[in-house]
């Protein structure tokens, strides 16, 4: 376990993963302050899922990696990139109105990723990309050594565009072992792939049935 430290928190109805990027629109005064400080000091902050006014204890640190646009009233369009998972021990409200959390960064288990499991899950994901996104997003290269060696987590990459609910994404973020995350995704794909086939079949029938409306 890492030593504890204090970071600003930005609770949102999303789950951020390490190495993932998300766009954010900043309009609340307290978060304008938080983001400006993060940009000016090149410092990180935490994003935690918030649902029904409850903040999840597992979150992800991030940094602002792009300020897309800044408006005259201080509102901003930005991109943030996730870095490390953390456990939120406690939090308080800062003088500026946003939360400050005491966190400890979470360690990954050092087990080597199961290559056959990686390949199976990537194949499922690439099939989903072909079926649902139809070329709108990139597939994952089966020969990408950064994933096969465990240098990067392919499970977090896959989870971003697989249709997981926020609860399922949080469940995945909470898992410390890459192989266990891959097993979680394998089970998920085993359940949804047949449904994708059925949805695609129905879509094809509708498009070719010859009727006019």
Question: pLDDT truncated to tens, each residue of the chain (213 aa)?
Answer: 568 999 999 999 999 999 999 999 999 999 999 999 999 999 999 999 999 889 999 999 999 999 999 999 999 999 999 999 999 999 999 999 999 999 999 998 877 889 999 999 999 999 988 888 887 889 999 988 888 888 889 999 999 999 899 999 999 999 999 999 999 999 999 998 888 877 777 667 656 655 554
Report angle CA 194, 196, 197 to the nearest 5 degrees: 65
Query: Are 10 and 100 in a shared domain?
Result: yes
Query: Are 129 and 161 in a shared domain?
Result: yes
Query: Are 100 and 15 in a shared domain?
Result: yes
Domain boundary among 77, 105, 133: 105
Domain CATH for 39:
2.30.130.40
What is the domain count for the chain?
2
Q: CA–CA separation, 90 vs 99, rounded Å?
A: 10
Return the exposure string of 163-173: e unless at least 16 CB atoms fall within 10 Å of the residue's CB, then b. Answer: ebeeebbbbbb
**Domain coverage including residue 56:** 5-105
Asked if the structure places residue 213 within a domain, the reply is no
Asked if the structure places residue 126 within a domain, the reply is yes
Asked if the structure places residue 196 within a domain, the reply is yes
Domain CATH for 177:
1.20.58
Domain boundary among 105, 138, 171: 105
């Amino acid at each position: 376990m890492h030593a504890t430290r204090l970071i600003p928190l930005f609770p949102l109805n999303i789950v951020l993963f390490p190495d993932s990027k998300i766009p954010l629109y900043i309009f609340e005064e307290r978060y304008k302050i938080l983001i400006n400080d993060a940009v000016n000091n090149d410092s990180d902050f935490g994003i935690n899922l918030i649902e029904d006014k409850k903040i999840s204890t597992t979150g992800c640190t991030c940094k602002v990696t792009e300020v897309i646009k800044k408006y005259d009233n201080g509102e901003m369009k930005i991109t943030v990139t996730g870095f490390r998972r953390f456990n939120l021990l406690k939090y308080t409200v800062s003088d500026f109105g946003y939360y400050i959390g005491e966190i400890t960064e979470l360690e990954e288990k050092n087990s080597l990723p199961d290559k056959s499991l990686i390949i199976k899950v990537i194949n499922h994901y690439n099939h989903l990309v072909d079926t649902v996104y139809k070329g709108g997003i990139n597939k994952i290269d089966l020969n990408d050594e950064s994933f096969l060696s465990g240098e990067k987590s392919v499970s977090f990459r896959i989870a971003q565009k697989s249709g997981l609910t926020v609860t399922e994404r949080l469940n995945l973020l909470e898992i410390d072992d890459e192989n266990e995350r891959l097993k979680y995704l394998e089970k998920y794909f085993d359940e949804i792939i047949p449904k994708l086939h059925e949805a695609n079949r129905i879509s094809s029938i509708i498009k070719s049935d010859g009727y006019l409306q």
